[in-house]
């Protein structure tokens, strides 16, 4: 009984330590505020934005930036449609108000190797399972013959 209790306590401690480590390293800082598209363009055109980081994601730009009066670790997040009109509005406001820093992060591209492996591995697993089942049936038939 003591061994079972000790092993359960041991595994519980391992779980809690692992959970603590994950929570410490996964402590992403939340944005100070989330702006709608209209709020973003209003603050941008009023000259209240200090920096912008744009990241294309499918049909929208995820925008991260700072506003006047924000501290270093404070930022906002906004989503803007990926269109010429939105880009023109951002460029015009950035030129008009001399925004210090504008970064555009390129969209991540999937490696050819990753695509190859993700498409072929499911078929390889199915093929291996088929072979294992076939092998078991052959072994069972041979064992039945020898009895």
pLDDT at site 6? 61
Using a cut of 0.75, tell me whether the model's pTM lies above it.
no
State residue 100's pLDDT score: 66
Instruction: Report pLDDT for 133.
Output: 93
Strands 101-104, 49-57: pairing is parallel
- Are 52 and 101 a contacting pair, CB within 8 Å? yes
Spatial contact of 52 and 95, defined as CB atoms under 8 Å apart: no
**Cβ-contact 52, 102 below 8 angstroms:** yes
Q: Which residues in the chain land under pLDDT 70?
A: 1-6, 26-32, 100-101, 107
* C-beta separation of 77 from 35 below 8 A: yes
Q: Where are the alpha helices (DSSP H) in the chain?
A: 2-25, 37-45, 84-97, 112-146
Q: Report the pLDDT value the prediction gives residue 124, as an integer from 0 to 100.
A: 94
The structural architecture, per CATH, of the domain 29-104 is 2-Layer Sandwich (3.30)
At residue 134's C-alpha, the angle toward residues 130 and 135, to 5°, is 115
Residue 61, pLDDT score = 85
């Amino acid at each position: 009984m003591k061994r079972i209790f000790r092993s359960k306590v041991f595994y519980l401690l391992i779980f809690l330590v692992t959970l603590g480590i994950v929570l410490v390293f996964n402590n992403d800082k939340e944005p100070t505020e989330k702006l709608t598209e209209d709020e973003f363009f209003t603050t941008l055109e009023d000259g209240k934005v200090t920096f912008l980081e744009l990241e294309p994601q499918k049909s929208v730009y995820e925008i991260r930036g700072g506003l006047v009066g924000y501290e270093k670790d404070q930022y906002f997040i906004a989503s803007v449609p990926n269109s010429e009109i939105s880009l023109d509005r951002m460029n015009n406001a950035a030129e008009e108000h001399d925004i210090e820093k504008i970064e555009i992060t390129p969209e991540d591209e999937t490696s050819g190797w990753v695509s190859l492996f993700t498409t072929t591995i499911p078929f390889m697993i199915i093929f291996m399972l088929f072979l294992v089942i076939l092998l078991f049936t052959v072994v069972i038939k041979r064992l039945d013959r020898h009895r």
